[in-house]
């Protein structure tokens, strides 16, 4: 009986989503993860967003909790924005890098999953929020150092989404943040079972060269290269080959740079042995990577990605900029994807930044169509 109910629920939900997304250009999502306080959000052009994802909530005794004393005020502020922007959706996110230590254990039993689903429903109703975004990094494969994981996480994640959809019904949104790299795509998720229940998957097509990488590369490149297979396009093509609907895929962009040190000058530092040094917000990019400090900007035609290299200091920086963001937005719309998301809003400049460029490109392309 339970499986029959879930089957009916899946069919009804899938039909609703397909109907709602029949005009992919018009409904193209622009999604911001947000870690700022209740005041910072007023600095940014919220009218250019379709979704804001509060980051992060956490697990305690198998229940969703806000995780910090000021989180209540932050969530209430975000939800209050819906009065001015009625189409805006506010989602609460679970976990994040380092924030899902108990996920493997909590979601390993039906009781744990059901307790969590009920707590999510209660919290969404409490704040008048619109859904949940699961950011478990990662089911079934190693994520944050020391966090438990096991092969059974893969099927348990499916059961978790089933429990959430059954508890939340059709109207609440459910999405999840997925690693954009091959190992996650192949080993962490039962895509054919999970995607019919979800509004979208937010592909973290950034940190593809991460802080643990022993070589440099494009951490958020659009296309694969002769030297690096991991890319936005690679993730989209892989999911498409498994049957994941493109109109449920959201690609991710990085509002920050990753800087590596000790990279020699061959290939201007690309794909060279190095050590991760620092994380630089986009709003500090021009200051940090200036010509007067020895940085030379470059563009990789194959990856369609920018980078900077300092030959004297042997520093290599990989990031998104206005040009790459524009190309990614065009790619997402032309491919019929659900939208584009980014980590994270407070890393942008309030005016003339990456969010403005995404919105401008979306507007231009919809007009052209």
Q: Which residue has the higher pLDDT, 115 or 16?
A: 115
Q: Which residue carries 């059901």 as its tokens?
A: 114
Both tokens of 227, joined, read 């030297």
Both tokens of 149, joined, read 């994981």
pLDDT score of 18 more than 50: no
Measured distance CA(216)–CA(340) in Å, rounded: 25
Q: Which of 248, 230, 228 is nearest to 240 (CA)?
A: 248
At the fourth CATH level, which superfamily is domain 2-253+327-368?
A: Glycosidases (3.20.20.80)
Mean pLDDT in residue range 13-38 = 69
pLDDT confidence of 194, banded at 50, 70, 90?
very high
pLDDT of the residue at 26: 64
Both tokens of 293, joined, read 């400090």
Question: Strand, helix or coil at 1?
Answer: coil
Mean pLDDT in residue range 292-308 = 98
Structural contact between residues 133 and 180, judged by C-beta atoms closer than 8 angstroms = no
Mean pLDDT in residue range 215-233 = 98
pLDDT of the residue at 368: 72
User: For residue range 312-346, what is the model confidence (pLDDT) as tens digits?
Assistant: 999 999 999 999 999 999 999 999 999 999 999 99
The arrangement of strands across the sheet holding 275-281 comes to 275-281, 256-261, 315-318, 305-310, 296-300
Measured distance CA(208)–CA(357) in Å, rounded: 23
Measured distance CA(132)–CA(174) in Å, rounded: 5
pLDDT confidence of 106, banded at 50, 70, 90?
very high
User: For residue range 144-172, what is the model confidence (pLDDT) as tens digits?
Assistant: 999 999 999 999 999 999 999 999 999 99
pLDDT confidence of 7, banded at 50, 70, 90?
low
DSSP H helices in 258-302: 285-288
| Residue 281: φ, ψ to 5° | -60, 150
pLDDT of the residue at 369: 66
Strands 315-318, 256-261: pairing is: antiparallel
User: For residue range 65-79, what is the model confidence (pLDDT) as tens digits?
Assistant: 997 789 999 999 999
User: For residue range 248-277, what is the model confidence (pLDDT) as tens digits?
Assistant: 999 999 999 999 999 999 999 999 999 999
Beta strand ranges found along the chain (DSSP E): 29-34, 51-60, 63-65, 89-95, 131-135, 173-179, 200-204, 249-254, 256-261, 275-281, 296-300, 305-310, 315-318, 339-343
Both tokens of 351, joined, read 């005016």
Measured distance CA(288)–CA(257) in Å, rounded: 10
pTM to 2 decimals?
Answer: 0.93
pLDDT confidence of 19, banded at 50, 70, 90?
very low
The full set of domain ranges for the chain reads 2-253+327-368
Measured distance CA(228)–CA(124) in Å, rounded: 41
pLDDT of the residue at 57: 97
The H or E element spanning position 72 is: helix 71-80
pLDDT score of 135 more than 80: yes
Both tokens of 134, joined, read 């699961």
Q: Is the dihedral angle over the CA atoms 248, 251, 255, 261 positive or is it negative?
A: positive
pLDDT of the residue at 2: 44
Distances (CA, A) of 183 to 142, 187, 251: 10, 6, 17
Q: Which of 148, 137, 227, 235 is nearest to 188 (CA)?
A: 137
Measured distance CA(110)–CA(139) in Å, rounded: 16
pLDDT of the residue at 362: 96
Q: Which residue carries 């996110």 as its tokens?
A: 93
Average pLDDT, the chain: 94
pLDDT confidence of 366, banded at 50, 70, 90?
confident
């Amino acid at each position: 009986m339970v499986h029959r109910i879930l089957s009916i629920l899946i069919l009804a939900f899938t039909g609703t989503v397909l109907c709602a997304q029949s005009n992919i250009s018009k409904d193209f999502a622009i999604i911001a993860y947000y870690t700022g306080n209740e005041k910072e959000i007023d600095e940014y052009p919220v009218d250019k967003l379709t979704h804001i994802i509060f980051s992060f909530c956490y697990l305690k005794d198998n229940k969703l909790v806000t995780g910090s004393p000021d989180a209540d005020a932050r969530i209430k502020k975000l939800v209050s924005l819906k009065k001015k922007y009625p189409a805006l959706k506010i989602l609460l996110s679970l976990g994040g890098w380092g924030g899902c230590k108990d996920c493997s254990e909590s979601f390993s039993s039906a009781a744990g999953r059901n307790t969590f689903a009920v707590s999510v429903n209660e919290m969404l109703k409490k704040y008048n929020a619109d859904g949940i975004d699961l950011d478990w990094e990662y089911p079934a494969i190693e994520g944050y150092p020391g966090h438990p994981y096991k092969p059974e996480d893969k099927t348990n994640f499916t059961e978790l989404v089933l429990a959430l959809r059954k508890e939340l019904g059709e109207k609440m949104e459910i999405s999840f943040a997925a690693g954009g790299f091959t190992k996650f795509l192949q080993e962490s998720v039962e895509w054919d079972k999970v995607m019919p229940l979800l509004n979208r998957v937010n592909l973290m097509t950034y940190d593809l060269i991460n802080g643990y990488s022993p070589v440099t590369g494009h951490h958020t490149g659009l296309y694969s290269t002769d030297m690096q297979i991991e890319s936005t396009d690679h993730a989209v093509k892989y999911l498409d080959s498994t049957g994941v609907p493109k109109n449920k895929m959201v690609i991710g962009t990085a509002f920050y740079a990753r800087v590596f040190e000790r990279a020699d000058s061959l290939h201007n530092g690309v794909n060279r042995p190095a050590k991760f040094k620092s994380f630089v917000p986009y709003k500090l990019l021009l200051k940090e990577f200036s010509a007067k400090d020895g940085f030379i900007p470059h563009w990789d035609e194959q990856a369609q990605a920018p980078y900077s290299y300092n030959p004297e200091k042997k520093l290599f920086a990989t990031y998104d900029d206005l040009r790459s963001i524009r190309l990614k937005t065009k790619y997402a719309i032309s491919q019929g994807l659900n939208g584009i998301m980014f980590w994270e809003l407070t890393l942008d400049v309030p005016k003339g930044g990456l969010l403005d460029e995404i919105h401008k490109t979306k507007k231009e392309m919809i007009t052209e169509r």
